[in-house]
Amino acid sequence: TEPLTRGIVIFGATGDLCKKKLIPALYKLWLKDLLPENFLILGCARREPTAEMWKESLGYYPDDFLHHLDYQCADLSMVETLRHLPDYIDDMTYFLSVPPERYADAITNLKEAGCLDDPETSRVVIEKPFGHDYKSADHLSALVARHLREKQVYRIDHYLGKDTVNNILATRFSNILLEPLWNRQYIEEIQIFATETIGCEGRSQYYETSGAVRDMLQNHILQVLALIAMEPPSRMSAKEVRREKTKVLAATRMSPSIVLGQYHDYRSEEGVNPDSTTPTYFAGTLFVDNWRWEGVPFNVMTGKKMPYGCVEVVIKLKAPPLKLYEGETNDRIVMRLQPNPHLDIRMDIKSPGLNNDLEEATLTHEYPQDRSVDGYEKLLYDAIEGNQAHFVHAEEVMESWRIVDDLLCEGDHCQIRTVPYIYMPKTWGPWKQVESITNWDYPA
């Protein structure tokens, strides 16, 4: 047989992420014949099962696929164990499916073991969160920069692997229809929703250290905002797309108009401090201080135990300069990213009949889901191929933490209120405070 020349090492291979997301995604790539020939998938963890025991723990896969899998005991905190990783692979991707507090040791020791010496043929994939706040993210970025080139670092935000999220750029930049409207001259407001109907569902202990700001706002929502607000890149390359996202995030600021919430009974869940001030909800206004968006509010809502769960962007256009009809409503462009993704353009038309009454017409395109791919499938494929377009640059991470840093303040010295208001499940948050932000277009 031909020698194995490319591969991926998954650290934390006995964990849930590997079993439920990574191996199934790699299997789908294999089924589509998108993995390189003789590709090695090496599971690594501190436990010492045999390769056969590890493969059995993953569930059923055909033997032809399992032929690509192997297992090796290795500890990211012990350099010597990393020196025994395969040295016959010409091009290797290292996936850190481990707790974030182990990232620093992992990168330092992989570099010391010689695994990351060649920036052209070695790379590290890092799961979110990248840091816990601005200060910790800055420290981790400095450590990574000491050991690796930026081209070797693949920071995952699984939202960026979703077809529907990537469709934002395709819809904006492959059509002339929207671009003339996409600015402060014609857009009154943009709303971004990322809501869930469920609570923490057994993840309360993790969520207690995270909360809505770290879990959703700092990463997923700000990435969607960047794709909506960024300038057209000069070409669709990783370098140029990430450059434009960084520029728009650098221009973004949080307004004082914000509300943090916590659903009733959160404090009674297992693993949660009875006096917890962890927010399970955020609503607030951000502004992008550049020529295109000056003065346009970006109103964001994310939370758990909401009446409806979805990820959706609503672009509310301004009213015509002269009102000629009774009952006019501002036009809307709605991008539903999940579930049942679709693009809506809503406008007024004349109702049939003798008078001049108006009714709303909606032009809808449902995004085809039969050909869509899982986020990890897309991101693993890109990482193996060395394409960073759908991964987050270090400067994007730092700008995102800068934007939300005031929301992470605790104690009496905070510039804004960060103690969450209590809200009842199946409501849109602490309504009295939330309704003062804007006239929300609640999804349904």
For the domain that residue 120 is a member of, what is the CATH number? 3.40.50.720
The per-residue pLDDT for 1 is: 47
Looking at residue 336, the DSSP 8-state letter turns out to be E
Q: Where are the alpha helices (DSSP H) in 58-203?
A: 63-66, 79-82, 103-112, 134-147, 163-173
Distance CA(127)–CA(155), nearest Å, equals: 6
Q: Is the pLDDT of residue 3 over 70?
A: no
> Annotated catalytic residue: which of 220, 264, 390, 393?
220
Does 131 share its domain with 230? no
Does 186 share its domain with 223? yes
397 located within any domain: no
State which of 90, 125, 156 marks the end of a domain.
Answer: 156
- Three-state DSSP at 238 gives helix
Count of other CB atoms within 10 angstroms of residue 224: 23
Does 146 share its domain with 260? no
What integer is the mean pLDDT of 255-268? 95
Q: Is the pLDDT of residue 37 over 90?
A: no
Does 369 share its domain with 315? yes
132 is catalytic: no
Residue type, 205: Q
400 located within any domain: no
- Distinct helix (H) and strand (E) counts, the chain: 15, 15
Does 176 share its domain with 225? yes
Q: Is the pLDDT of residue 372 over 60?
A: yes
Does 142 share its domain with 234? no
Q: Between the CA of residue 161 and those of 13, 229, 376, 377, what are the distances in Å?
A: 21, 19, 6, 8
383 located within any domain: no
Give 329's Cβ-side CA count (13 Å radius): 17
405 located within any domain: no
Does 168 share its domain with 150? no
Q: What is the mean pLDDT of the chain?
A: 93
What integer is the mean pLDDT of 47-76? 93
202 located within any domain: yes
154's tokens: 């693949």
Range of the domain at 134: 6-156
CATH of the domain at 265: 3.30.360.10
State which of 156, 177, 204 marks the end of a domain.
Answer: 156
What integer is the mean pLDDT of 267-289? 95
State which of 156, 183, 212 marks the end of a domain.
Answer: 156
Q: Is the pLDDT of residue 180 over 60?
A: yes
| Residue 4 binned pLDDT confidence (cut-offs 50, 70, 90) | low
The per-residue pLDDT for 375 is: 87
Does 71 share its domain with 185? no
Does 176 share its domain with 52? no
Q: Is the pLDDT of residue 205 over 90?
A: no
The per-residue pLDDT for 335 is: 96
Per-residue pLDDT reduced to its tens digit, 388-430: 999 999 999 999 999 999 999 888 888 899 999 999 999 999 9
The per-residue pLDDT for 2 is: 54
Q: What angle do CA 17, 100, 88 make, to 5 degrees?
A: 70
Number of domains in the chain: 2
388's tokens: 């960073």
Per-residue pLDDT reduced to its tens digit, 68-126: 999 999 999 999 999 999 888 889 999 999 988 999 999 999 999 999 999 999 999 99
Q: Is the pLDDT of residue 14 over 60?
A: yes
292's tokens: 């295109």
The b/e string for 311-345 (b: 16+ C-beta within 10 A; e otherwise) is: bbbbbbbeeeeeeeeeeeeebbbbbbbbeebebbb
- Three-state DSSP at 4 gives coil
Distance CA(373)–CA(214), nearest Å, equals: 26
The per-residue pLDDT for 439 is: 94
